[in-house]
């Protein structure tokens, strides 16, 4: 244990130095690299028990390192470290051979547990354990079972799938189920948050670029499409793509070819497209913000992910799983929920869906003083929006303005044009109010 060598690939030097120091104080031998090229040299010249790799680096990314290691037939286990916004990409790295991933800021005790689990595991890394075709936690409600039935029907086909659902409902989980139950299950699953792609670099991120294609292109880079070749690419929040990128994406889907930025050569691709949005795409088409021909390319099959409030029977199941995760991450030993706390969770509206539930459970687990989460450990929930279909007086008023807007959006099932009509305001004013109050749709 004392001589175990660990390679750190991290371009945030202060964080990398801190991590190296912590590892050395814990009895490991650690080497810090800040570039992919340096990490390759270290791996070729020395033997390491574990690699800790960041995702985004000056001369490439963690996915490229994993792909290179696979080509070199290196079986050194890799733990990917990622910020909150990159978790979907970190999970994609698992398909490229990463052993595990950690969210930043890294919890030292959890990192140590993962390292020790890897070191003590039997050596059989040339044959990775086959992952189950469904994840360990699934809902049991009727709405959930209908969704799973649709997933199992469309998964074996080549159809492109558009997943619709509110923010936080688990659209990426549904996309991953489609991939895991398809003939491409043993190939790459690459998740892309289209909302985080800048207008200037979106084409480069999706289709790659050649060295020198623009000022910061210091090396050739594979795009998400080429990385996902022969597998599945998941385009989350696809409605956020700029119109220019939509044109390029449509061309790629029609011709099954991509052209990296700065290149004169096309690359043939075979990628299944699964996309998702919580926006009303038909409304975006009517307003000229989304191409109708691209919509029909992406929407050969539509899958709806129901909100958590329509899956009441699943709340206890997911709460128990999130508590199990929180116990491990926070080093707690909370056994469960009191009857009052369970009822409070069941009755809440959950506008943030599974993401909100996870956050609430983690916070409660952190502050709980007993061996179970009680009502006092939960936050004070805002009252649920009105659902009385006969109460149609949604006219916007200054008192409780945010609540009125949320009520109208709920009544309109997220359709902002209809919600604006209910509130008797124009759509632009509604958009400004949504932004002002930080309302999540």
Is 21 part of any domain? yes
Rounded distance between C-alpha atoms, residue 326 and residue 316, angstroms? 15
Is 298 part of any domain? yes
Query: pLDDT per residue over 367-426, tens digit each?
Result: 999 999 999 999 988 766 554 433 445 566 666 778 778 877 776 667 777 777 778 787
173 and 257, same structural domain? yes
CATH number at residue 340: 1.10.8.60
Query: pLDDT per residue over 286-340, tens digit each?
Result: 888 899 999 999 999 999 999 998 888 899 999 999 999 999 989 899 999 999 9
What are the residues whose beta carbons fall under 8 Å from the beta carbon of 282, sequence distance 6 or more?
none
Relative to beta strand 78-82, strand 50-54 is parallel
What are the residues whose beta carbons fall under 8 Å from the beta carbon of 281, sequence distance 6 or more?
162, 239, 290, 295, 299
282 and 182, same structural domain? yes
Is 134 part of any domain? no
267 and 199, same structural domain? yes
Relative to beta strand 60-61, strand 29-33 is unpaired
Taking CA 192 as the corner, what is the angle to CA 43 and CA 36, rounded to the nearest 5 degrees? 20
Give the HSE-up count for residue 241: Cα atoms under 13 Å, Cβ half-sphere: 29
Is 131 part of any domain? no
Is 259 part of any domain? yes
More confident residue, 369 or 92: 369
Provide the pLDDT confidence category of residue 88 given band limits of 50, 70 and 90.
low
What backbone phi and psi angles, to 5 degrees, belong to 9?
A: -115, 105
How many residues does the structure list for the chain?
Answer: 441
288 and 222, same structural domain? yes
Rounded distance between C-alpha atoms, residue 297 and residue 239, angstroms? 14
114 and 83, same structural domain? yes
Is 348 part of any domain? yes
Query: pLDDT per residue over 251-271, tens digit each?
Result: 999 999 998 888 888 999 999
369 and 432, same structural domain? no
Q: Domain boundary at 267, 285, 304, which?
A: 304
CATH number at residue 183: 3.40.50.300
Q: Domain boundary at 258, 274, 304, which?
A: 304
In whole numbers, what is the pLDDT of the chain averaged over residues? 83
What is the span of the domain harbouring residue 340?
314-377
300 and 154, same structural domain? yes
Token pair for 117: 């689990």
86 and 164, same structural domain? no
pLDDT at 364: 94
pLDDT at 338: 95
Closest C-alpha to 320, from 297, 345, 300, 347: 345
CATH number at residue 422: 1.10.10
pLDDT at 124: 42
End-to-end CA distance of the chain: 49
The shares of helix, strand and coil residues in the chain, as percent rounded to the nearest 5, are 45, 15, 40
97 and 49, same structural domain? yes
338 and 409, same structural domain? no
Rounded distance between C-alpha atoms, residue 172 and residue 151, angstroms? 13
pLDDT at 95: 60
pLDDT at 386: 54
Answer whether residue 92 shows pLDDT above 70. no
Is 361 part of any domain? yes
Is 125 part of any domain? no
Domains contained in the chain, number? 4
294 and 162, same structural domain? yes
Helix or strand holding residue 56 (H, E): strand 56-57
Token pair for 391: 């109460």
105 and 245, same structural domain? no
Q: Which residues of 63-84 are buried (b: 16+ CB within 10 A; e: fewer)?
A: bbbbbebeeeebebbbbbbbee
Q: Domain boundary at 332, 356, 377, which?
A: 377
pLDDT at 93: 67
Provide the pLDDT confidence category of residue 136 given band limits of 50, 70 and 90.
very low
């Amino acid at each position: 244990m004392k001589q175990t060598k660990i390679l750190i690939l991290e371009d945030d030097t202060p964080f990398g130095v801190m991590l190296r120091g912590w590892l050395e104080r814990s009895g490991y031998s650690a080497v810090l690299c800040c570039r992919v090229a340096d990490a390759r040299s270290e791996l070729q010249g020395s033997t390491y028990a574990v690699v800790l790799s960041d995702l985004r680096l000056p001369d490439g990314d963690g996915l490229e390192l994993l792909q290179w290691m696979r080509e070199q037939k290196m079986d050194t286990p890799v733990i990917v470290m990622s910020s909150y916004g990159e978790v979907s990409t970190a999970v994609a790295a698992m398909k490229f051979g990463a052993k595990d991933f950690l969210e930043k800021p890294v919890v030292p005790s959890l990192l140590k547990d993962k390292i020790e689990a890897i070191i003590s595991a039997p050596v059989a890394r040339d044959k990775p354990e086959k992952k189950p075709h469904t994840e360990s936690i699934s809902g049991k409600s009727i709405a959930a079972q209908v969704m799973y039935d649709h997933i199992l029907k469309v998964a074996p086909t080549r159809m492109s799938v558009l997943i619709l659902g509110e923010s936080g409902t688990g659209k990426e989980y549904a996309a991953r189920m489609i991939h895991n139950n398809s003939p491409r299950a043993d190939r790459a699953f690459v998740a892309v948050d289209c909302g985080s792609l800048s207008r200037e670099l979106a084409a480069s991120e999706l289709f790659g670029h050649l060295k020198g294609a623009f000022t910061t292109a210091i090396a050739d880079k594979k795009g998400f499409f080429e990385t996902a070749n022969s597998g599945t690419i998941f385009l989350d929040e696809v409605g956020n793509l700029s119109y220019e990128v939509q044109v390029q994406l449509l061309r790629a889907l029609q011709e099954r070819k991509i052209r990296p930025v700065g290149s004169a050569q096309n690359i043939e691709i075979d990628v299944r497209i699964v996309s998702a949005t919580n926006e009303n795409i038909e409304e975006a088409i009517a307003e000229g913000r989304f191409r109708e021909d691209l919509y029909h390319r992406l929407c050969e099959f539509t899958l709806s992910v129901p909100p958590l409030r329509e899956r009441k029977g699943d709340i206890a199941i997911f709460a128990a799983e999130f508590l199990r995760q929180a116990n491990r991450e926070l080093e707690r030993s909370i056994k469960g929920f009191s009857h009052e706390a369970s009822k409070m969770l069941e009755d809440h509206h959950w506008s943030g869906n599974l993401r909100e539930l996870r956050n609430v459970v983690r916070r409660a687990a952190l502050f709980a003083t007993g061996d179970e989460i009680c009502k006092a450990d939960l936050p004070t929930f805002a009252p649920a929006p009105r659902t009385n279909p006969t109460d149609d007086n949604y006219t916007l008023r200054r008192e409780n303005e945010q609540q009125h807007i949320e009520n109208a959006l709920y009544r309109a099932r997220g359709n902002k044009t209809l919600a604006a009509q209910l509130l008797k305001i124009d759509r632009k004013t509604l958009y400004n109010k949504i932004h002002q109050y930080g309302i999540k749709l």
